[in-house]
Amino acid sequence: DAGVTQSPTHLIKTRGQQVTLRCSPKSGHDTVSWYQQALGQGPQFIFQYYEEEERQRGNFPDRFSGHQFPNYSSELNVNALLLGDSALYLCASSLLPGRYNEQFFGPGTRLTVL
Amino acid sequence: QQQVKQSPQSLIVQKGGIPIINCAYENTAFDYFPWYQQFPGKGPALLIAIRPDVSEKKEGRFTISFNKSAKQFSLHIMDSQPGDSATYFCAASPPPLTQGGSEKLVFGKGTKLTVNP
C-alpha cells in the first residue's frame, strides 16, 4: 500500500520565479493538506483540499495556491518566490470518514530559493 | 501567536532512559492531540494520539499523559533506544467541521531527542 508521495524531492529556484509541487495521497484517502516546515520549526498549515475545493486556509498570502484533481492528487503553486519561501513543503492526506483527524505525511519537497 | 508550546527544545538521554517531552495549548476547542516523529530528510510519522476523554494512552513504549484542566500533555518514551533519536512534534486540532474532513494540525516547534548508546 503506497503511502503519500511527493515530487520533486528537491527544487532550487530564484527569487520571483514560480514553482509547482505535487502530491499523491495515500491509497483510499480523499483529503489533502499542505504544510510548510521552515528549518528547525514545526510544520505550519497552508491549506486543505477536499472534493476539489479549498476547504480551509492558514495564514499564507495569495501567492500560495493549490488544486485538487478528481483522482485526489494535489498541486501546490507558489508565485513570485521570496527567499523566505525556502522550506520543506509537506503534503498530508486523510480520509473522510475515517479515523479521527489522522493525517499521514509524505516525505516532503525541499524548496530552496536563491 | 503560538498556540502549542513545546519543551524542551532538545533532550539527551542514555539508552534505557525515559525522556519526557511536554506541550501546553491555549485553545480550549482543541480536542485531538497527536505526536509525530520525524527523522532527518523524512516527513513526520504519526506515533500516538489522544483525545481529552482519557488521561493516559499507551502504545508500545510510547505513553501520552493528558491534563485537561492544565491544558497540558506530554510524551514519555520507555526504555529509549538509539533508534528513537529523532525530532518529536506535538500537535493539536479542533474537532472536524460538520461537513467532515480533517481539521488543520497546529504543531509545536519540536524537540530534538538524542539517545546515546
pLDDT in tens, A2-50: 799 999 999 999 999 999 999 999 998 899 999 999 998 999 999 999 8
Tens digits of residue pLDDT in A70-104: 999 999 999 999 999 999 999 999 887 545 668 89
Q: Is A55 on the interface with B (CB under 8 A)?
A: yes
Min Cα separation B69/chain A (Å): 22
Task: Give domain status of residue A15, yes or no.
Answer: yes
Closest CA to A11 of A68, A81, A69, A105: A81
**What domain range includes position A40?**
5-109
Cβ within 8 Å, pair A45-B51:
no
Residue A114 domain-assigned (yes or no)? no
Given this model, what pLDDT does residue A100 score?
65
pLDDT at A91: 97
Stretches where chain B sits below pLDDT 70 are: 1-2, 95-102
Residue A89, in any domain of the structure: yes
Q: Does any domain span residue A101?
A: yes
Quick check: A101 contacting B, CB < 8 Å?
Answer: yes
Q: Would you call A102 an interface residue with chain B, using a CB distance cutoff of 8 Å? A: yes
Assigned architecture for domain B4-116: Sandwich (2.60)
Report CB contact under 8 Å: B107, A107: no
Contact B21, B113 (CB under 8 A): yes
User: Are B105 and A48 a contacting pair at CB < 8 A?
Assistant: no
Q: Chain-wide mean pLDDT for chain A?
A: 92
| Amino acid identity, position A15 | R
Phi-psi region of B53 (alpha: psi -120 to 50; beta: other; left: phi over 0): alpha
Domains contained in chain A, number:
1
Q: What is the CATH number of the domain that holds A9?
A: 2.60.40.10
